[in-house]
């Protein structure tokens, strides 16, 4: 799904597989159904931007890195402190600086590589 530009969460992927076949795989027809279902709700960039703007007091186009750190580790599909630090490093974000929309969107919405 990621290679097609979608960004499903780990919980969504787990749900798709557990609701289908018992052997942990899905056939192509099921995959198409899952893709259709997911594409209907996939509005990742808009969702991230809306969440970012909700925390952008004053409409500066950025939020304090410390505040974003707290949001990412405590709300929604939480990520670990180490994952946030890795994200900050990849996006060249200083822990005591501010994070712009473009910095965070560029990292969060880049499809993960297939290994």
pLDDT in tens, 35-75: 777 776 666 677 778 888 888 888 888 999 999 888 888 88
User: Are the CB atoms for 80 and 73 separated by under 8 Å?
Assistant: yes
Write the DSSP string, 44-57.
HHHHHHHHHHHT-T
3-class secondary structure, 26: coil
Global pTM reads 0.56
Which string of b and e fits 10-43 if b means at least 16 CB within 10 Å? eebeeebeeebeeeeebeeeeeeebbeebeeebe
Question: What is the mean predicted confidence (pLDDT) over 82-94?
Answer: 88
Number of helices and strands (H, E) in the chain?
Answer: 6, 2
Domains, the chain, ordered by start: 2-41 (no CATH), 44-108 (1.10.238.10)
């Amino acid at each position: 799904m990621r290679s097609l530009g979608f960004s499903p969460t780990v919980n969504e992927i787990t749900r798709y597989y557990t609701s289908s076949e018992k052997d942990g795989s899905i056939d192509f027809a099921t995959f198409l159904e899952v893709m259709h279902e997911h594409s209907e709700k996939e509005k990742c960039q808009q969702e991230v931007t809306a969440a970012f703007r909700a925390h952008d007091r004053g409409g500066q186009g950025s939020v304090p890195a410390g505040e974003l750190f707290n949001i990412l580790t405590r709300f929604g599909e939480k990520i670990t402190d180490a994952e946030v630090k890795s994200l900050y490093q990849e996006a060249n974000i200083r822990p005591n600086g501010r994070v712009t929309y473009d910095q965070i969107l560029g990292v969060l919405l880049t499809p993960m590589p297939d290994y």
